[in-house]
Amino acid sequence: MRRTVKIAVTGTLMLALAAGVALADSAAWTRAGKEAGRQVAERGLRLEMPGRAEKQQAASSIDPATNRVEKRAGTAAAEAQTGTFAAKLALDGLNDTLTFRYVKSGDQINVLPSPDLGYELLALPDGRVLVEVAASIYRLDPEKRTLSVFLKGQTGTTRKTAVSGGSAKMAVWGQRASLSPDGTRLLYWTTRNITATRNEDGENWIKDLRTGAEKKIYGAGYTVLGWDARNRFYLDLGDRGIVQVDSESGASAKLVPGFSVSAVSGSHLLAQTTDGSLNVRNLSTGKQQAFRGGGLNHLRSIAASDAGPWFALVNAPDRSSRVSTLILLNAETLKSHAFEEPAGSSIIGVSWQDKQTLLVQTRNRTTAGESTYVIDIAKEVGR
């Protein structure tokens, strides 16, 4: 299960978030905890993410002859020194060395996500880390700095399959890993069925982390929106809607019929299919309510707090507008609190540190400089 640690910040967003009152206090942002750069939360650490300038520098450093990048646009820990270590990947016919960024907290090594280095990471409850690389998932032991096979039945001959036309193609053995809230099951996508079906849409599989057993749980790969408290996961099928899948039995139910802007927390599903209205579903009772008002119109994105009732909505007055508002919505009470963007800046992203702390990433419209504001929900609206 994802571990979270409350991060102390200098300053608090002093919004008068009285229940049900929409706000447009431009001075609120100047009273907030503000940090330079774009920051997100990962396993209890606040990370500094590469901004637009760093990404442009990395792109311009590519050698056209070798395609090598001289300058990486990577992550760093916001409040600690970042180090690196190397681990050899000599499995499944591979012979490579991967570099990992990390920060040490006490005796614990926290490996940092570094997609610029060619892989994705997911932390396991036992302190080890899963690494998605070379179309599969491997287990990293940060202490021993070793990589080992994680998924069953993986061999070089199994992964290299014959497809139509006689050409050989490497099957995806595991990608898009997602951990259940109780830390006992791992959802992943695979195309290991390509030999029999010639279908590259793949399947969703579950690995039981207690027994090691693996099984197909749902067809085709789609975006995983999240999990609820009953170990059910939610897939965004695009124009086909949103489906709820039980990770034990595989029983599924379609909850949203078509395309939507959506998010899932441990307790609620929010989905907008029509501008000006938002469907709020309680995942325990199945009860649905419609939220309207608070300036809601066209949602650009929704971010759900880890397990609590709060959602952060990035809202626009219409589809073509360059302006956004931020709406905080309590899915249990349907009380909302809205405020405009900081003067001269645009909201470019939001993410939750935990169920009470929201990080708001902004970019200055003139200088392109990026900043992060920290909103402590508990202090402003109560528990």
pLDDT tens digit at each of 383 positions of the chain: 333 333 333 333 333 333 333 444 455 676 667 888 888 777 666 777 665 555 444 445 444 544 444 445 455 555 566 789 999 999 888 899 999 989 887 778 889 888 788 899 999 888 889 999 988 999 999 999 999 999 987 655 556 565 555 566 678 899 999 999 999 999 999 988 877 777 778 899 999 999 999 999 998 888 999 999 999 999 999 999 999 999 999 999 999 999 999 999 999 999 999 999 999 999 999 999 999 988 999 999 999 987 779 999 999 999 899 899 999 999 999 999 888 999 899 999 999 988 888 899 999 999 999 999 988 877 766 55
Q: CA dist 309 to 56, 188, 271, Å?
A: 38, 27, 15
Q: At residue 159, what are phi and psi to the nearest 5 degrees? A: -75, -25
Q: How far is CA 39 from the centre of its chain?
A: 14
Residue 279: what pLDDT?
A: 98
Region class of 293: left (phi > 0), else alpha (psi between -120 and 50), else beta = left
Return d(Cα 232, Cα 246) in angstroms, integer: 4
* Amino acid identity, position 60: S
Residue 70: what pLDDT?
A: 47
Q: How far is CA 245 from the centre of its chain?
A: 19
Closest to 259 measured CA to CA, from 223, 295, 286, 285 = 223
Return d(Cα 279, Cα 291) in angstroms, integer: 6
Return d(Cα 207, Cα 214) in angstroms, integer: 4
Structure tokens at 133: 């690389």
Structure tokens at 377: 């929900």
Residue 75: what pLDDT?
A: 57
